[in-house]
Amino acid sequence: MSPRAILLFELAGLLLGALALFFPTGTMIFVFFTLGNLLILIGLAIYIKLVLKDLKKHRVI
Amino acid sequence: MDAVGTSFGIVRALGVALILLSSGVILIVALRAFRKPEKPGAKWGLLVAFGILPLGLLLVSDAILLGQMKEVTFCGSCHPMEPFVKSFEDPADSTLAAVHAKRHLIPHQQCYTCHTDYALMGDVKAKLRGLRHLYAYYTSDNQQRPKLYSPYPNANCLQCHAGAAKYEESPTHQTISEELKKGETSCLDCHGPAHPGKETAVSE
């Protein structure tokens, strides 16, 4: 996974979150809020994984 | 729309603006760091763009949405809930929930106030039950009347009524006080139905 994938996941997640905020009904929250949260968390997980990989490469950890 | 609804509208609008603005910042910072990864500060920029900002926005938007989910308008946004919400405005409706709403005994967030258990995990359990209702709504016949997953706890009524003079002075309440506290007799056995469309008082 590349940093571009992180950008894509996080921006998509944030935009879905904005949609859920704009139309706060059961359907929108069920679909967009849940999916948006999931995408942002996937993006964050990939970022943390890449940072840890980088730190190991430079023998920081 | 009442004052609470208006303030929620403003908060939501600010939330949307914050997300869109931050998305732009994230895009610019990330693209700059991609172009010149060796530039000093590029990694710090990515930390802000990929770590701090999205996490902060996630928490802020979740907090706003979780607040929004307490509103009656949110509960009424699913079709099976419409009769329950409409009963609040019907002057002829004498069901328990409608009386509480119309008399302003519970001025705001009427659904949430009565359907949340008063305990440490009460809020979390209410949200999980709500998600289960939503799941059932999408995966089964969504015209069905929503059902409770457990009997309505008397503790939710007693949270407000216990200690009130009118409640304590009632001879009936004095007689069955312990039964009510233990949940052996439901408040709804005498004061139900809670909502329209059901003859017996089994609903929450």
Interface predicted TM-score of the whole assembly (ipTM), two decimals: 0.86
pLDDT score for B4: 58
- Distance between CA atoms of B72 and B117, rounded to whole angstroms? 17
Do the domain assignments include residue B200? no
**Total domains in the fold of chain B:** 2
Residues B65-108 pLDDT 10s:
888 888 888 888 888 888 888 888 788 888 999 999 888 888 88
Is the confidence at residue B204, as pLDDT, over 50? no
**Which one of B50, B68, B86 terminates a domain?**
B68
Mean pLDDT of chain B: 85
Are residues B184 and B96 both part of a single domain?
A: yes
**Which one of B68, B99, B125 terminates a domain?**
B68
Structural domain that includes position A38: 3-57
Structural domain that includes position B175: 75-191
Cβ(B63)–Cβ(B123) below 8 Å: no
Amino acid of residue B202: V
Q: Which residues in A lie closer than 8 A to residue B58 (C-beta atoms)? A: 13, 17, 37, 40-41
- Distance between CA atoms of B128 and B123, rounded to whole angstroms? 9
- Distance between CA atoms of B52 and A51, rounded to whole angstroms? 14
**Total domains in the fold of chain A:** 1
Are residues B57 and B103 both part of a single domain?
A: no
Sort B30 into a burial class: Cβ within 10 Å, 0-12 / 13-18 / 19+: buried
Angle at B202 between CA B197 and CA B203, to 5 degrees: 60
Closest-CA residue in chain B for A23?
A: B12
Are residues B48 and B20 both part of a single domain?
A: yes
Read off φ and ψ for residue B76, nearest 5 degrees: -75, 0
**Which one of B68, B86, B118 terminates a domain?**
B68
Are residues B87 and B63 both part of a single domain?
A: no
Do the domain assignments include residue B117? yes
Residues B124-182 pLDDT 10s:
888 888 878 878 887 876 667 787 888 899 999 998 999 999 999 999 999 999 999 88
Are residues B92 and B151 both part of a single domain?
A: yes
Do the domain assignments include residue B196? no
Contact yes or no for B50 and A10 at CB 8 A: yes
